[in-house]
């Protein structure tokens, strides 16, 4: 957690009056990604796990297809710069070049229109199943790992899991960046994301569904709500979407057949 928080003096007001104390505030810093010496984007993020964030972002943008495309990644944490070199040249579209600056709350990558046109390429045809009692277990483990959130209350969390537990976990001030980090960690660590579970604390919007589909994830679980476009897209693509997963209660918005009462043909290990 070193370098992810700042100690700032603040005033707390309650029924007993006003008092000053030193609070831990999550840090927000810019990180600029260069791809083969071309500036791609500057992300506002939590200054940790910068290498997987850069790789996950480039994967989500369709600029790298996986570790096989990456030749070298260099990180300058002091200046907040990551250089990614690929084995083959990558042509940057004008759309990518024109949107260099990405805030924490901004959706990016494919638009809903793009996703609608390219649904056949995003189809998830997994036959894997997830025991329903695995979901509370995963959420309990997931929330237990949220140390930075408990300390600051200022981050989102994301994890890639199988039916038995969490494989990769990351936190960031942006829900998109938290997901890019876990996907990037999987790419760099050689962990297959196909047929895995994506767990997030954030709202499930349509672009989150696209990120999951691009990674081959078959189930997305959040303690928060989905949007209507996210539900429609998940139904069209074949992703199981679970929202409001709190304790033993949850809403399953799409492909509910993957959630089963007992273990049978469970998700890939």
Alpha helices in 108-205 (DSSP H): 112-117, 119-122, 134-144, 147-152, 175-189
Establish whether 106 is a catalytic residue. Answer: yes
Kindly list the distances between the CA atom of residue 100 and the CA atoms of 41, 81, 91, in Å, as whole numbers in the listed order.
Answer: 4, 14, 16
Pairwise CA distance, residues 217 & 195, whole Å: 5
Q: Which residues pair with 199 in a beta bridge?
A: 159, 221
Catalytic residue selected from 45, 106, 161, 170: 106
Distance of alpha carbon 75 from the chain centroid: 20
- Please name the residues in contact with 176: beta carbons below 8 A apart, sequence gap of 6 or more: 104, 106, 107, 108, 207, 208, 211
- The answer to whether 170 and 156 have CB atoms below 8 angstroms apart is no
* CB hemisphere CA count around 73 (13 angstroms): 23
Kindly list the distances between the CA atom of residue 265 and the CA atoms of 89, 130, 255, in Å, as whole numbers in the listed order.
Answer: 41, 8, 16
The beta-strand segments (E) located in 48-164 are 70-76, 81-86, 101-102, 130-131, 156-162
Closest CA to 124 of 257, 240, 251: 240
Pairwise CA distance, residues 269 & 266, whole Å: 9
Catalytic residue set: 106
């Amino acid at each position: 957690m070193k370098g992810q928080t700042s100690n700032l003096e603040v005033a707390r007001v309650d029924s007993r009056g006003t008092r000053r104390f030193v609070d831990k505030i999550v840090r927000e810093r810019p990180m600029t990604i260069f791809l083969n010496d071309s500036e791609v984007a500057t992300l506002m993020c939590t200054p940790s796990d910068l290498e997987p964030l850069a790789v996950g972002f480039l994967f989500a943008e369709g600029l790298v297809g996986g570790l096989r495309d990456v030749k070298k990644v260099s990180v300058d944490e002091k200046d907040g710069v990551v250089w990614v070199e690929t084995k083959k040249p990558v042509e940057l579209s004008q759309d990518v070049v024109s949107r260099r600056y990405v805030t924490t709350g901004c959706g990016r990558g494919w638009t809903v229109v793009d996703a609608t046109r390219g649904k056949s390429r995003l189809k998830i045809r997994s036959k894997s199943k997830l025991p329903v009692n695995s979901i509370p277990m995963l959420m309990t483990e997931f929330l237990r790992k949220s140390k930075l959130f408990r300390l600051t209350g200022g981050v989102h969390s994301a994890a890639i899991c199988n039916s038995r537990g969490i494989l990769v976990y990351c936190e960031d001030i942006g829900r998109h960046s938290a997901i890019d980090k876990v996907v990037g960690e999987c790419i760099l660590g050689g962990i297959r994301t196909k047929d895995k579970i994506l767990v997030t604390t954030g709202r499930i919007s349509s672009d989150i569904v696209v990120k999951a589909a691009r990674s081959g994830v078959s189930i997305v679980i959040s303690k928060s709500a989905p949007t209507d476009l996210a539900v429609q897209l998940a139904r069209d693509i074949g992703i199981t979407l679970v929202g409001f997963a709190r304790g033993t209660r949850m809403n399953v918005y799409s492909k509910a057949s993957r959630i089963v009462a007992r273990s049978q043909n469970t998700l890939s290990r």
